[in-house]
Chain A
Amino acid sequence: MATLELSLEEEGTTPVRRRQLGMLFWIAAGWMVLVFAVAIFADLLPLPSPTDMDMLERRAPISAEHWLGTDGLGRDELSRLIYGARISLIVGLCAPMIGVTIGGALGMLAGYFRGRFESFVVGSMDVLLAFPPLILALAVTAYLGQSIFNLTCILGVLGIPAFMRVSRAATLSLARREFVIAAQALGATHARILLRELLPNVMLPLLAFFLLGVAVTIVVEGSLSFLGLGVPPPISSWGSMIGEGRESLDVAPMLAFIPAIAMFLTVLAFNLIGDTMRALTDPRQGAL
């Protein structure tokens, strides 16, 4: 990000390097901490139940009782937003985790060993990429039912090709570098070269891509929930809240905008932090 100022590290006796992180990073980090904290401690907060309906208080405006008003069925909006954050974060973190583990491993193996294995992996990933994601989501939820677990698995599997490509591309360029030949010349095993020489290098782009993946997954989960393919009601997620708010967009636009803003801020925060982390953890920054 433009505001990120990376000062070249001052050579000292301590290997600890200090770099300016910038205001934006701290705002983003603050928002993340807040979202995670309320999502984790939602049960401990003095919140009304997110599923209790109050038909007399439908679409109530902001008040002391309902801080963000109520939705079309009289459920407390703030409470739904916070419980929804839980779902969005669980799905948003777990799905890319599946992708980064499987896709990352496949990509590294393909990029390192090349040959037929690589063709097979790349080919099958192309098949997976060509498969319409919405149809897959429909098929899985139709047969296996709607649940958070299924949703996470679908999104995770859909993320594998992208992670595979990132890790394969990084491995391909790294495997030709001299330090890999040097490791071979020093008698390192394939496993050691993959895990100790290549993985720490491939980790950096993968990690940055992971945070991006989290942001994308939160949005995709929202879209699926919006279409009714996400978490089953009455559980709330940000996407399903936007979907439900759509019906009353003319009378109570707040109901769609509030979860949309929450999603927007969270995704932005993930991206900002991801960017900063990449810049920070990349020791090559200091190299020539």
Chain B
Amino acid sequence: MATLNRKDYIKRSAIWGFIVVELAFFAIVGDVMSVSDRTFLSLDNMLLLLKQSAPIGIIALGMTIIMINGNIDLSVGATFALAAIVLLDSLTWPFMQALGDWAIPLAWGFALMTGVVLGAINGLIVWKTGVDAFIVTLASMLGFRGLVFMYNGEQPTSHLNWTLVDFAEAQFLGLHTATWFLLGVALILWLVMTKTVHGRNAYAIGNNREAAINAGIRVGPHFMLNFMLIGFLAALSAVIFYSESGSVNPNDGMLYELWAITAVVLGGTKLAGGYGSIISTLGGVIAIQLLRKGLGHIGADTQTVNLVIGLILIGVLFLDRQLNRQGKEELKI
């Protein structure tokens, strides 16, 4: 990571170039076709876009570290749903209601703790059994979803707390609460990945696990810590989102893992591990949300969005390989 050559700079800035192209395209096409009476490039619209990026975005930031490790986490959607249920349900417990507004931080704590525990379960299994993270988290995706259904059957869990809603809808310096969390998490993780030993180890392990072990890095605990981190972030994402919406269906969060992985890959992180950046993932998240909003703005059906995002993902993969022919992109599972 120490020396970046020109090609790396091009690849790193590619996602931001893509975002600029998207902005220009949707603004111009929207104007020319005048399909919408709103302007796309308005400040309000952009602020809203950032807010809407937050739920997937926060998860994708955590997924970046997991993928730099050379692992993957398919269970985040289920973790998201379970944390949301714990959040909303815990607010209705009798002793919590007696606490008044003090119940809120406690409920947040319970929900976040849920995420950390689920992540720890994944991490511990990956560490101790040596079964690949793809399989472990594929299975726990089913298992955690089972826990979600266990909680409340197929009924939605609802609880609206107006203090929470006010908090989630608040704006500080123009940015929504969710946006602040997204940017805050991005900043912290960026610092972790670029300035700390943990971050350096993450790249080292992803690059060459054997060498990392030989160099004395304790790979197992490192994995576990990262899985706890992504569990925490999935729960944080749920906490922020459901504070506002106040109702969670047992199927919520399904396919979130795939959206998060899409954002991470768009940001240029390699599945094989050892390469990737938090800031680029943030770019990937914004690019996807921009695409969703922009296509809606120029009057495309929502169904077209899925088609376009899928094709862009494949296109990015193709371009990336053309740029980097000698690279080792074989999937290491």
A, B bound: no
Binding site for A on B (CB under 8 A): none
Binding site for B on A (CB under 8 A): none
